[in-house]
Structure 1
Amino acid sequence: MTTTEAGPDDPEAATRQTVRGKGRSKGRGSVRSGQVAALRPGYQAELADGTDRFFEPRRTDCPWCGSLRLRHRLRTTDLLQHKPGVFVLDECQDCAHVFQNPRLTGPGLEFYYRDFYDGLGEQRLGGVFGTRTAAYRDRARSVLPFAAAPGRWLDVGTGHGHFCESARELFPGTSFDGLDLSEGAELAERHGRLRRGFRGSFPELAPQLAGQYDVLSMFHYLEHSTEPARELAAARQALRPGGLLLIDVPDPQCRSARLLGRWWLPWLQPQHLHLMPVANLRRRLGELGFTVVLEQHGEPHDPVDLLAACWLLLDAFAPREDAPWLPGEPPGRLRRALRGALFVAGAPVLLLATLLDRLIARFAGRAGLSNAYRLLARRD
């Protein structure tokens, strides 16, 4: 699994970049067509036996609290890449934890992440990485009242390290390290965005990082992890006593999630495996020896819910773009023209949705419409 700073970390940026990608140049389109053709035989061979092997057996208990009282919250498909498969989110009726059930296996995660942030997807998302400086600074600014000059900061799920590059403007004396499963952390170190870039699993690397950090951040990272409790325990191990843990995650209890249903972008199936209500995360942090010193809802809200829902609806009804995992022949000129015409016709709706998103953002936190929440906790 690859955790980067576009897509799950930046849903608005990723969605806007995807929309802009519809107008790419002919030359760029022909390059993509060649890549799709080269990848098609491998994908089709991989899918010849179906997708059942990509899923674990369905579990009958809640992975957060162990309750047996589960109910289906959502059933959906891959609305972004349109890779085959049906994904179910269950909700615990006791603690309200939402989780993918059945969950993807390791090969399943590899299959569905492939060509989303790298390969074919990198063409569309690659330009996003350095464009979110204001959001990155806002995240870092939430630490200032509690640690004006931390010595060392570890950003887990750092991607290409752009958050750390922006945060350094507020904390010029802080040494920023980053950790990621992808090679992005190593690339960020070579480009000078990180003092040190670690590549690998955080729970496995945590023992060698024990007690080294004053601040540790996880931005839209926990929802991608197979075992969030292990990640939180690793964070406690890597922090010094009195160190701060900063977490941003989607809020499955926000009103937008219920109003928009499967078209709410932060469900992000099949990538998001766990979505934790804020009360659950606060309680777990307390059990691990943390004290929550800050809870925010309006500030981490990303004003993209309506735009993303409208775009996903248009995309669902439009003829498919060419992709190596889709069956049949590549789309011809007529299908491509119909797809373009549909998005042109839908442009006023997308513009209106964008304006409404910005209007809602002014009171999203107070109205329970914020699509994310932020917790800052101190290790006791």
Structure 2
Amino acid sequence: MSGRRERAARVAALRAAYREELAEGTAVFFEPRAHSCPWCGSGRLGGRLRTTDLLQHKPGEFALDRCHDCGHVFQNPRLSERGLAFYYRDFYDGLGEERLDGVFAGRTASYRARAESVRPHLAGPAEWLDVGTGHGHFCATAAELLPDVAFDGLDRSDGAELAELAGRVRRGHRGTFAELAEKAPGSYDVVSMFHYLEHAPDPLAELEAAYAVLRPGGLLVVDVPDPESRWARLLGRWWLPWLQPQHLHLAPAGNLRRRLVESGFTVLAQEHAPAHDAVDLVAAAWLALDAVAPREDLPWLPEPPGPARRALRGAALLAGVPLLLAATVLDRAVAGPVAERWGLTNAYRLVARRAAPPDGAAATAGR
């Protein structure tokens, strides 16, 4: 069976289950609306963005609010556990697993840059936990650069277990970070959260888990989208890092720095250009092009597209190739230091050290 026919058969097999789940509408996927900021508690909130699911095109509308006091941006109303399960389904797993696995596998340069940001702060052999590891591609790449580091991965999906089977991590833990921190406190010298914290319903609890699972003097490295990026304002709903409905919280760098200090960390580095992924314009162009083109066959749609719609979609995407190429060139032209100087970086990275014991023991001393 060809790849297209195989996918069509998988979509058809899922359609009835999606139809049943959507029978009650999308309101059942949300918690009650919040009236205070989940980061600082202020009640001074304002609407930041309203959008739809621009990647999977699942039904529903999503709103992001901004706190006028601390600048925190968060989804409001927020998805419930049922909603998170619905919107994540077939994105990283199922129908989307093969496509996303290929995307993540091709990001070797980005993974090496992440490891390079931490290497100057390592003092010897270390045990590293990558939270939200997916299929462990970062760990496999970083292990080549840091041969004295043993990498474990944690993920709520079966990705971590698959990463262990593939030999990309020493151990793959499946579950929540809070559960692992409770079972294994003080077990790691390094914890990484690369584009994970924005997905967490309670990011402050995730920082507490990081503190708990780290040994005294251990390192925490966090990459998150920067809601203060100029691209966020210039591109509006087409800015990829909004990533609705998956991204629940986007914290400005100052907020996260202060919270880390209050939680017992010392911030060692704040990086913008090294964390930047130069895809803002090409991603916006693709999202806009995909939005106007007829939909591909998806199980949450009432019926599969006919031959005419499929042909029209193919023609629309083909016509958009010059736009995508031009956007790619422009992205690369404003990458690196240029993007940071103009406030166009789309993410930032913080490296912090958990408070050491009174005797000043080294952060990642060999054992």
Query: Could you tell me the TM-score, scaled by structure 2's length?
Result: 0.94
Aligned residue in 2 for 1:262: 237
Which of these residues, 265, 268, 273, is aligned with residue 293 of structure 1? 268
Asked if structure 2 preserves the Cα contact closer than 8 Å seen for 1:150 and 1:215, the reply is no
Give, as a single letter, the amino acid of the residue that structure 2 aligns with 1:250.
Answer: P
Structure 1 runs (4+) greater than 3 angstroms displaced: none
2:250 corresponds in structure 1 to 275
The letter for the 2-side match of 1:156 is V
Aligned pairs for 1:126-275 (under 5 A) are 126-275=101-250
Indicate the SS of the match to 1:143.
helix
CA distance in 2, matches of 1:129, 1:260: 24
* Alignment-mate amino acid for residue 307 of structure 2: R
Tell me what 2:25 maps to. Answer: 50
- Give a deviation string over 1:318-337, Cα, whole Å, max 9, x none: 1111111112x321111111
Residue of structure 2 aligned with 1:41, choices 16, 36, 50? 16
1:361 correspondence with 2:347: no
Aligned to 1:13: none
Among candidates 308, 312, 318, match of residue 334 of structure 1: 308
After TM superposition, give the deviation of residue 100 of structure 1 in Å: 0.4
Q: Is the 8 A contact 1:251 1:370 kept in 2?
A: yes
SS in 1 for 2:24: coil
Spell out, residue by residue over 1:115-139, the C-alpha distance to the aligned partner (whole angstroms, 9 max, x if none).
1111111232232232211111110
- Once the two structures are overlaid, the 10-residue window that deviates more, 297-306 or 329-338, is 329-338
Residue 44 of structure 1 aligns to which amino acid in structure 2?
R
**Counterpart selection for 1:116 from 85, 91, 111:** 91
Of the three residues 336, 348, 352, the one matched with 2:326 is 352
Equivalent AA in structure 1 for residue 251 of structure 2: M
Measured in 2, the distance between the counterparts of 1:361 and 1:129 equals 20
- Residue 27 (str. 1) matches residue 2 (str. 2): yes
- Superposed CA deviations along residues 168-191 of structure 1, whole A, max 9, x for unmatched, are 112111111111111111121222
Contact 1:214 1:240 in 2 (8 A): yes
**Cα deviation code 1:216-237 (max 9, x no counterpart):** 1000000000000010011011
The count of aligned residue pairs is: 354
Give the aligned residue type for 1:354: T
Tell me the percent identity: 68
The secondary structure found in structure 2 opposite 1:95 is coil
Asked whether the 8 Å contact 1:155–1:218 carries over to 2, the reply is: yes
Matching of residue 66 in structure 1 with residue 41 in structure 2: yes
Residue 351 of structure 1 aligns with an amino acid whose one-letter code is L
- Residues 1:97 and 2:104 are matched in the alignment: no
Which amino acid in structure 1 is aligned with residue 312 of structure 2?
L
- How many Å apart are 1:44 and its aligned residue? 0.8
Whether contact under 8 Å (1:180, 1:199) holds in the other structure is: yes
Shift of 1:165: 1.0
Scaled by the length of structure 1, what TM-score is found? 0.91
Structure 2 unaligned regions, length at least 5: 356-367
Tell me the amino acid that sits aligned with residue 186 of structure 2: G
Name which of structure 1's ranges 143-152 and 271-280 shifts more when overlaid on structure 2: 143-152
Whole-Å Cα distance in 2 between the matches of residues 319 and 189 of structure 1?
39
Instruction: Give the Cα–Cα distance (whole angstroms) in 2 for the partners of residues 308 and 219 of structure 1.
Output: 19
Report the Cα distance in structure 2 between the residues aligned to 1:55 and 1:116, rounded to whole angstroms: 19
What's the CA shift for 1:208?
A: 2.2
What is the root-mean-square deviation of aligned Cα atoms in Å? Answer: 1.1
CA distance in 2, matches of 1:318, 1:184: 32
Q: Provide the residue aligned with 2:278 in structure 1.
A: 303
- Please give the alpha-carbon distance, in whole angstroms, between the structure 1 residues aligned to 2:52 and 2:37: 22
Shift of 1:277: 0.3
Aligned residues of 2:101 and 2:135 also touching (Cα < 8 A): no
